Amino acid sequence: MSSKWQKTPEQLALFAVPTSEAREPAKGTELPMAERDAESPAGKPQLMEAICERENLREALKRVKANQGSPGIDGMTVVQLPEYLQQHWPVIREQLRSGTYKPQAVQRVEIEKQDGSGMRKLGIPTVLDRFIQQAVMQVLQRQWDPTFSDSSYGFRPGRSAQQAVAQAQQYIAEGRQYVVDLDLEKFFDRVNHDKLMGQIAKRVEDKRLLKLIRAFWTAGVMEDGLVSPSVEGTPQGGPLSPLLSNLVLDELDRELTRRGHRFVRYADDCNIYVRSERAGQRVMASVKRFLTTKLKLKVNESKSAVARPQERKFLGFSFTAGKELKRKIAPQAIDRFKERVREITLRSKGVSMKAMVEELARYVRGWRGYFGFCETPSVLRRLDSWIRRRVRCAFWRQWKTGRKRFAELVHRGVHRRSAAKTAGTRRGPWHVSQSPALDQALSNAYLASFGVPSLAHGR
């Protein structure tokens, strides 16, 4: 039993096998004999039994609770899930083991894409279906992940976007000065069900599991109160979709490896590094043909290109020009960061400065946890200075009147004459944020003690 997760008595009892079914586990196996399908070949554990194994289910419940997320079409929340399972798990387990479980339709929601290029459609399964998908994913991932390419980094245990960027940097440093930057158009929406089921069937013999996976895809999508059928695609929003996306694109990875290419793939972002523009154009044309004819996928022409790596962004990063190759934060990522900080610091109605700074700190620390991997610290220092100006602006707006501003400045040690001059200015908050008076009243040290985070120092 994992010491990382302290289980309550209710959680411990949640997936208990009735005494009449319990058996001692056979030596050298991970599955209790009672969890094997009666119709399976003697001594050969089936995947559905591994999925319904208690420790796997407990881990799935832990993950679903940690990930939180919105309710699906039935309105059930993550908090309500354990109690629901407590009452209904025996029936659900029997449906899974008999191959009769029917997932519910997913809830269609739209979120803005990180690059600001439009809206991304998500399909949110019910929390029960998320739990079952998570349990399926854990078992399949343990089997499939070791077979995936070393050049694939997305949605895989022990691998990260930073590792993908570092590998890309190494290829460039080795003299591959051009990148074939491939962007797949609406990848998750265009996955061909029959082709993907064929790939899964090569790895999965358990027909109940094959039926369940297809059922997750064909359960339909609810939008504006109406359920429409799903004829292609794997809905983004379910725990199983990322693993299945890696399975789809594993065929691309194998083809690129067979051709001897140096490439890095993170989900549907794939960069191939070559030594000349001419080679890049040739590779782009041949890989596009492969994706279209073999995988039935479409390349987004407007977002794909053959170019110098310094002219492209990859997972929010780019690279410096010149002899010393360094990772830098892509301009688009900095623009999105600033836009989000502006949103947070412009809030004034009903929000205290302390609450605003706490929200800002959460966002900035999360952003730094990812982009702190850059090798251009001067950019982080400039952003720190900009963040402090934004916070000083927020203080200035909160003080509102000249009388209040004068009093606050004097209270913070500013000379009365300087305080009066600054409080009476007609200049806007952005200009005042650089004034000597406000710089003294809201010094860097004071802002740090108030909780304003630092990108350069990791506070």
For β-strands 178-183 and 262-266, DSSP reports them as unpaired
The CA dihedral of 395, 400, 401, 406, to the nearest 10 degrees, is: 0
Between CA 319 and CA 329 the distance in angstroms is 8
Between CA 372 and CA 27 the distance in angstroms is 47
Q: Dihedral sign, CA of 190, 136, 120, 309?
A: negative
Is it the case that residue 137 has pLDDT exceeding 60?
Answer: yes
**221 — phi, psi (to 5°)?**
-125, 130
Between CA 70 and CA 402 the distance in angstroms is 45
Q: What is the DSSP letter of 207?
A: H
More confident residue, 359 or 6: 359
**pTM higher than 0.85, yes or no?**
no
Residues 6+ apart with CB under 8 A from 396: 405, 429, 432, 433, 438
Q: What pLDDT score was predicted for residue 184?
A: 87
For β-strands 269-274 and 178-183, DSSP reports them as antiparallel
Which alpha helices (DSSP H) does 145-238 contain, by range?
A: 161-173, 187-190, 193-201, 207-218
| Lookup: tokens for 422 | 């600054």
| Lookup: tokens for 125 | 């399964």
- The model's pLDDT over 227-239, given as tens digits with 9 standing for 90+, comes to 655 555 566 678 9
> C-alpha distances in angstroms, 143 versus 136, 139, 326?
11, 7, 36
Q: Provide the percentage of residues in the chain whose pLDDT is more than 70.
A: 83
CA angle, corner 151, sides to 150 and 157, nearest 5? 60
Q: What pLDDT score was predicted for residue 144?
A: 96
Q: What is the DSSP letter of 444?
A: H
Between CA 457 and CA 459 the distance in angstroms is 6
- Beta-carbon count within 10 A of 368 CB: 21
- The model's pLDDT over 67-88, given as tens digits with 9 standing for 90+, comes to 988 899 999 999 999 999 999 9
Amino acid found at 434: Q
Is it the case that residue 191 has pLDDT exceeding 80?
Answer: no
- The model's pLDDT over 20-63, given as tens digits with 9 standing for 90+, comes to 344 443 333 333 333 334 333 333 458 999 999 999 999 999 99
CB 374 within 8 A of CB 327: yes
Mean pLDDT of 88-111: 90
